[in-house]
Amino acid sequence: MPGETSTATLELPGQSSVQMAGLVSARFRRGMLPLAAGTALCVALSAPLADFLLERHDLAHRGQAYASDLAQQIAAQEAGKSALAEDDARAVLQVIAAALQERGTEDIVRVEVLDARGGEIAALNSREANWPLVWTGAPLAAGASRLGAVRVAIGEPEWIERDLLLLGVFGGLGLVLGLALYFFPLRLFREEDLVLLFARRSVRAAEEERLRLSRDLHDGLGQTLGTAAVALVRLNARLGPSPEAADTARLIDGALDELRHIALGLRPPSLVDLGLGAAVGALARDAERTGLAATVQIEELPPLDPELELTCFRLAQEALSNLVSHAEAKSFRLTLARQGAMLALEVHDDGRGFSPASGMGLGLVGARERASRLAGHFSVESAPGKGTTFRALLPLQVGNP
């Protein structure tokens, strides 16, 4: 509706392709072996099981047809009787033998004729029994009288041999597929882990380079400017004060302050000496000195991994730097606390905000990459005139591949 302003959120997923590979790799190692074994087993059993079920259905259909046909022949011979008796056995066997001779004994194993009570009247084995057998039956009736039932056992001699052959062929195929499913992706994930290791080491190398630059600035340019300031004081004492000398002294002092600020940004001594909470609090106080009203809530934190501390410090530094430089805010709120297995950092201001859809600067890209290397999550929520909120969630347990 007109006049409404929606708040847009720029999600900067911590799980970049590199870090996601590391997460999937860890889960892969824990769960891929059962998955690969299950896949191999399913492939190995698929064809034999399908053949077994189809053959059983076919044999049952053929046995049912044969039993029905045989029941009709016996019923026709025993027409006029209300029940079968033992003295009917010879005649029934003759009918069964004639039917088997006509049909052949390749699949029929045994034929049984039962009376109305279930007692066996006659039975005939056509060949040696084999496993598995499929038993089927059909009612034996003459008119409205139920004389009994005909039961037929039917089987195929090559049934099991064929299924065993299929099991061997598809078992080998399943084994190959399972091994490929396990080892090939694992190799890819291990290569991605090497990329992740390289990314983490590159961050450490960058921080070591920052430390070296800070030390060089302090020991080199800093001492040179300090020596120049002392020489200027001596020159003033010898020749007397002058406006030019005073201006030069102010320039040297300004250069020393700027140099000190740069060196502290490159190497935060408070992080090493006081810990993450105090270092982030110091950043908030520096931002507060620019005229901003600050609300800072920093909980007591457990001992943290140095890489986690440095990453969180740099994220807070980036958020507060954007706040001071671009937000045009009057106040901000900073919170740093533990949330379960995660370390949560949030910086919210009441500034002019911006539209995340317009893109993000290099600072936010760098913040996202820093969070991603620790399997963390970094997001920016903002809208014109609604302020900006930076959020970061970093796992307390940092892996060391």
Are 14 and 365 in contact, with CB atoms under 8 Å apart? Answer: no
At residue 24, the pLDDT reads 52
For residues 19 and 197, give the distance between their C-alpha atoms in angstroms, rounded to a whole number: 10
Superfamily name and number for 274-401: Histidine kinase-like ATPase, C-terminal domain (3.30.565.10)
The pLDDT tens digits for 81-125 are: 777 777 778 888 888 888 887 776 568 888 888 888 888 888 888
Amino acid at 32: M
- Strands lying side by side in the sheet with 145-154: 120-125, 108-115, 145-154, 134-142
**Helices 159-216 + 17-77 axis angle, to 10:** 170
Domain ranges of the chain: 274-401
Are 371 and 11 in contact, with CB atoms under 8 Å apart? Answer: no
At residue 142, the pLDDT reads 76
At residue 332, the pLDDT reads 95
The pLDDT tens digits for 265-286 are: 566 666 767 788 888 998 899 8
Average pLDDT, rounded, for the chain: 78
Q: How many residues are there in the chain?
A: 401
At residue 271, the pLDDT reads 72
Are 70 and 111 in contact, with CB atoms under 8 Å apart? Answer: yes
At residue 400, the pLDDT reads 43
Please list the ranges in the chain whose pLDDT falls under 70: 1-31, 80, 104-106, 129, 185-211, 214-220, 222, 257-270, 272, 356-362, 398-401
Instruction: Determine which helix (DSSP H) or strand (DSSP E) holds 13, and give its type and residue range.
Output: none
Structure tokens at 392: 């970061």
Q: Strands 331-339, 342-349: parallel, antiparallel or unpaired by DSSP? A: antiparallel
